[in-house]
Amino acid sequence: MSRFFALLALILVTFPLRAQTPMEHFESKVRPLLLAKCISCHGPEKSKGGLRLDAAGITKGGESGPVLVPGMPDQSLLIKAVRQTGELKMPPKDKLKDHEIATLATWIKAGAIWPSGPTSPPMGNTTVVRSLEPNAVSLQKHLQAWYRADTLLLADGKPVAIWPDSSGKGRDLTATSGVRPGGVGQPGTFVKNSSVNGRPSVRFDPETGLATSPDSPVDFKGDAAFTLMVVMNLKPTNVPNIHDGILGIGNPANPTGNPGKPLAALIQITRNPDPELKLAGGWNHDATLGKKSFELLWNRPVLLTIVKNPGPMRSSTRFFIDGVPSEEGSLKLKVEGTDAIPDIRHREDIGLYMGKALGWCGSIRGDLAEALVYNTALNNDDRSAVEVGLSERLGFIHPAILAQSKASFTPEAKGFWAFQKVKATTPPMVRDERWIKSPVDRFILSRLEATGLKPTPQADKRTLIRRVTFDLTGLPPTPAEIDLFIKDKGPDAFGKLVDRLLNSPHYGERWGRHWLDIVRYAESTANDANAVLRYAWRYRDYVVRAINTDKPYDQFLIDQLAGDLLPPSGNLNRDAEAIIATGFLMIGPKALAETDKEQSRRDIIDDQLDTTGRAMLGMTLGCARCHDHKFDPIPAVDYYSLAGIFRGTEVFLNESRNASMWQEWPLFQLPGEQPIMVMAPKESRPTNLRVALRGNYQTPGILAPRRFLQIVAGEGHPPINTTQSGRLELARWIASKENPLTARVMANRVWQHHFGTGLVATSDNFGARGEKPSHPELLDWLATEFMANDWSLKKLHRLILLSSTYQTGTFVDENALKADPANRLLGRTNRKRLDAESVRDFLLAVSGRLDRSVGGNDSGELLFKEAEDITALIRPNRLQPYHPIYTNSLRRSIYLPVVRNSVPDMIALFDGADPNGVTTLRNDTTVASQALFLLNHPFVREQSQHFAKHLLSDPKAKDPDRISLGFRLALGRDPSSTELKEVADFLSNYRNQATAAGIKSDDAQRNAWQSFCQTLYCRNEFLYVD
């Protein structure tokens, strides 16, 4: 025996954690890296050294021979070149980062899979819409004045007494009070993050008035052609003067009376009392969009353009709102007004003016970001091009950009099952009504009957309580709980058991761990420093609490994506929970050593977007980063539309300073208590990104308006209408009952964890490369019930668990095995091995040592304490996978430190989740090292000792009673008479041999029982649940 154990102890085997599939790894990590760092020299336009990096070229190799040895990265020329350990050094100038080299090595080790199709730019229209700077060469001579708030070198909140002219004509605006004759205008206020899409603006109040000098009038007069552009967000002024003057030139207040024609060009809002947008000439000689025309423009960012050709005011004036002609779009307002021909005359006291410059001028209230004056009527092409440039810089979406970003899908793509609305299906009729306990059973039995199969008989009560207790809590039932359930002969006995387990605090720990797998939970950043995320544990505990309290799943998703943007609820704890939930956006891996900070942010966004897509929508969104998705109707423009939403969110403390520290800040502080520190993002300036051609942000393509997946939300649907990032709108769209993916994905995931395989086997991929549902009507029925029951996960569990389908035995009928070898028809229950955390927790529970307390900051504080203090904003992790915490801690495994690239052996050995990526379904390997662990590992032997101590604690107990208790604790059943005799003989022989060898009687007794206890751990019954 000792020689056998010694030989076994020499065998050390490690196994990979469940991570991305090779194809997902290639599309999300490898392809972007090759495109960014290699394709310029080894692509379709240039193939240095005869090497072209595409599907064919990578196999063929170059002048130096094959560059890959699939499965053997260390022997591959590509890896030798990027490691730069020999003569060949690639890239020749900038060596790849260590984590980038590791990405390539992982790809090659997995077989160097390259999905069919060459590396190429995004499919579809990549021609960039024409854009012009306001002072472009072709326009420079016509540009009379240009006021940009983003050029003001002022601190936030400082007065703006002078607003410089950026046209080069020297027509600076100044506050008029004390400067111009009759001037009453006070300075404006500089606002860094204004109501104009978060861009810098000059804030006007009713006393603010600015004007230029009359000595340098703009170069047009009489019946002149001109173009005026203003970017603003105005609010009603509620001052006695009913005319609000935005931007004016000329003399509308003719002191000698009505001149019979327009003398000015003044953008004006007349409140009489309905807000009316005008190009006012004075004395009602105006071009107007009519009463109430400005009503829909209050309190929102507006890009207003007025183009005036020579001729009568009404017929020669056109208004454009956000690039759309006023007579089109949502406003549909025709120009009305006078047919008088203008005779614009400049005043002698002021030139161009804004707001309350003189006593007769109308006040305005709100933010002005930019204003432009041209002495020509810009043609449609030039006007649109200037508006496009302003739109992108100031956060608007020009209609030309919107039209270009519209996707076009084939009927096959639109008709794909996952993108159809969830259907309220009726459970089918079946022949054997006696088997039906739940509507779920009708869907299952109808398929079985159609195939000529029958379901396996129901499992016995001992099997059921063990199965459902592990399923819902990850812990074994106690002997007392088993006895109570067996004695309960009532028809609702199993229902009461399910309710008790759903109300257990350990339910949230079990199902919280499932969610943490999906959202790549960890307490370190991976890569480079692998810095400690000290407060990540708060997010973990939020997940456990949310699941225990049955937080509606739709709100659960909204909290995690945008809890910081929700309006205050009036409940401090509720608001705090919502902010803590946004730790979802913070806990992903980060390459802190990346010197290109924009690239680093893009990589973080890609992680956030990929996780959101796979966790919540069951879609592999990350595969559209470099090109249109190869298999699903997700164009690259949709990827960047969603990426723009996340780009408006700050993860780092200060994105403008290359800071590496992420957001950690006090949430609130109760009197006399320490503030609660959390990891949570903060909003930054809303941003619409351009498509990065070949995944390289330095080669921008078309602009991608912030919006949702067009295959679901509609081709060319309107962009998000918000002055924030758009996260809240995205969260509400994902969590909507109208979204066909969200409820299906979660219903399928709950089914997967109860049965081992989902109705859709690929639970993170509902796309074309995923599997179709085995029971589509059942999936839609579950999704419908899930939403109808207020997105309650606990009610969804009950629907499934109280079915005959869940309660079947594991017996395999020979006919069923032939007809349905993979059990996709669910005529029987699949035997499942306990996951890594359950194995560890089970060992502690049986030994009587498990600490069942819920939540806490143990892991975060330990990591922070053990980390290297380098007197910087970050602390690199120094906790190794063999740290005593992993064997000495008596807490449940969910509370152990989770360190990226440093997973403890026990968790890795039993196929724990890889915290570097999304894990929706863990691997299920059966290897010799698992048995060796249970035989040899000190942690297991220690639990065996405590298990034995527990069995020996009653000195009056007899050996048969102790043996029975051991079986009941470890296996949930009594031993058979044969087993009872075999164990008794084993114990007797062990004691006799030990005492004969000179071991004290008490020690021999303890060692014998310890060995017995360890044999229970090594049985399949211990590791597997029927």
The answer to whether 464 touches 807, Cβ cutoff 8 Å, is yes
Q: What pLDDT shows up at residue 7?
A: 28
The answer to whether 168 touches 154, Cβ cutoff 8 Å, is no
Q: Which residues fall within 8 angstroms of residue 576, CB to CB, at 6 or more apart?
A: 667, 668, 676
**Residue 283 shares a structural domain with residue 177:** yes
CA 653/CA 226 separation, integer angstroms: 46
Least confident of 211-225, 642-656, 690-704: 642-656
**Residue 99 shares a structural domain with residue 167:** no
Task: Please give the helix or strand (H or E) that residue 847 lies within, else none.
Answer: helix 836-847
**Residue 272 shares a structural domain with residue 364:** yes
**Residue 192 shares a structural domain with residue 100:** no
The confidence band for 9, taking pLDDT boundaries of 50, 70 and 90, is very low
Least confident of 30-44, 745-759, 854-868, 952-966: 30-44
Q: What pLDDT shows up at residue 76?
A: 76
At which of 346, 372, 397 does a domain end?
Answer: 397
CA 548/CA 550 separation, integer angstroms: 5
**Residue 584 shares a structural domain with residue 663:** yes
562-577 confidence digits (pLDDT tens): 999 999 999 988 999 9
Count of CB atoms situated within 10 Å of the CB of 996:
9
Instruction: Give the mean pLDDT of 923-944.
Output: 91
* 629 within a domain of the structure (yes/no): yes
> Long-range pairs for 128-131 at CB < 8 Å and ≥24 separation?
128/700, 128/701, 128/702, 128/703, 129/388, 129/398, 129/400, 129/401, 129/404, 129/702, 129/703, 130/381, 130/384, 130/385, 130/388, 131/385, 131/388, 131/389, 131/392
Is it the case that residue 772 has pLDDT exceeding 80?
yes
At which of 381, 397, 413 does a domain end?
Answer: 397
Instruction: Give the mean pLDDT of 375-382.
Output: 97
Instruction: Give the mean pLDDT of 953-981.
Output: 94
The confidence band for 121, taking pLDDT boundaries of 50, 70 and 90, is very low
Count of CB atoms situated within 10 Å of the CB of 23:
17
CA distances from 317 to 279, 308, 336, 394, 442 (A): 8, 5, 10, 25, 68
3-state secondary structure of 269: strand
Least confident of 148-162, 486-500, 587-601, 606-620: 587-601
* 869 within a domain of the structure (yes/no): no
CA 3/CA 924 separation, integer angstroms: 30
* Of residues 819, 781, 822, the one with CA closest to residue 803: 781
* 454 within a domain of the structure (yes/no): no
The confidence band for 653, taking pLDDT boundaries of 50, 70 and 90, is low
CA torsion sign for 127, 129, 130, 134 is negative
**Residue 64 shares a structural domain with residue 152:** no
Q: Count of domains in the chain?
A: 4
The confidence band for 590, taking pLDDT boundaries of 50, 70 and 90, is confident
DSSP letter assigned to residue 459? P
Tell me the β-bridge partners of 277.
269
Residue 709 lies in domain: 520-744
Instruction: Give the mean pLDDT of 591-597.
Output: 80
Buried/exposed 78-103: b ≥16 CB within 10 Å, e otherwise: bbbbbbeeeeeebeeeeebbebbbeb
Q: What pLDDT shows up at residue 280?
A: 94
CA atoms within 13 A of residue 986's CA, in its CB half-sphere: 17
Highest-confidence range of 395-404, 548-557, 809-818, by mean pLDDT?
Answer: 548-557
**Residue 167 shares a structural domain with residue 46:** no
Q: Which residues fall within 8 angstroms of residue 619, CB to CB, at 6 or more apart?
A: 613, 632, 634, 709, 741, 765, 766, 767
3-state secondary structure of 941: helix
CA atoms within 13 A of residue 671's CA, in its CB half-sphere: 0
| 91 upstream amide cis, omega within 30 of 0 | yes
**Residue 590 shares a structural domain with residue 641:** yes
208-243 confidence digits (pLDDT tens): 999 999 999 999 999 999 999 999 999 998 888 888
Instruction: Give the mean pLDDT of 674-682.
Output: 80
Q: Which residues fall within 8 angstroms of residue 238, CB to CB, at 6 or more apart?
A: none
At which of 336, 370, 397 does a domain end?
Answer: 397
Q: What pLDDT shows up at residue 81?
A: 80
Work out the angle between the directed axes of helices 2-9 and 928-936 (0-180°, nearest 10).
120
* 577 within a domain of the structure (yes/no): yes
CA 51/CA 88 separation, integer angstroms: 14
The number of helices, as runs of H, and strands, as runs of E, in the chain is: 36, 26
CA 914 to centroid of chain Cα atoms: 18
973-1000 confidence digits (pLDDT tens): 999 999 999 999 999 999 999 899 989 9
Is it the case that residue 659 has pLDDT exceeding 60?
no
**Residue 384 shares a structural domain with residue 243:** yes
Q: What pLDDT shows up at residue 14?
A: 34
777-791 confidence digits (pLDDT tens): 999 999 999 999 999
614 vs 23, residue with greater confidence: 614
Domain of 155: which CATH number? 2.60.120.200
* 160 within a domain of the structure (yes/no): yes
**Residue 79 shares a structural domain with residue 150:** no
* Of residues 377, 498, 446, 491, the one with CA closest to residue 795: 498
DSSP 6-43: HHHHT-----PPB---HHHHIIIIIHHHHHHHTTTTBS
Residue 348: both structure tokens together: 């002698």
**Residue 38 shares a structural domain with residue 180:** no
Instruction: Give the mean pLDDT of 704-726.
Output: 93
Is it the case that residue 127 has pLDDT exceeding 70?
no
Q: Which residues fall within 8 angstroms of residue 491, CB to CB, at 6 or more apart?
A: none
Token pair 């962009």 is found at 719
* Of residues 557, 586, 579, 922, the one with CA closest to residue 741: 557
* 87 within a domain of the structure (yes/no): yes
* 918 within a domain of the structure (yes/no): no
* 604 within a domain of the structure (yes/no): yes
**Residue 95 shares a structural domain with residue 201:** no
320-377 confidence digits (pLDDT tens): 999 999 999 788 899 999 999 999 999 999 999 999 999 999 999 999 999 999 999 9
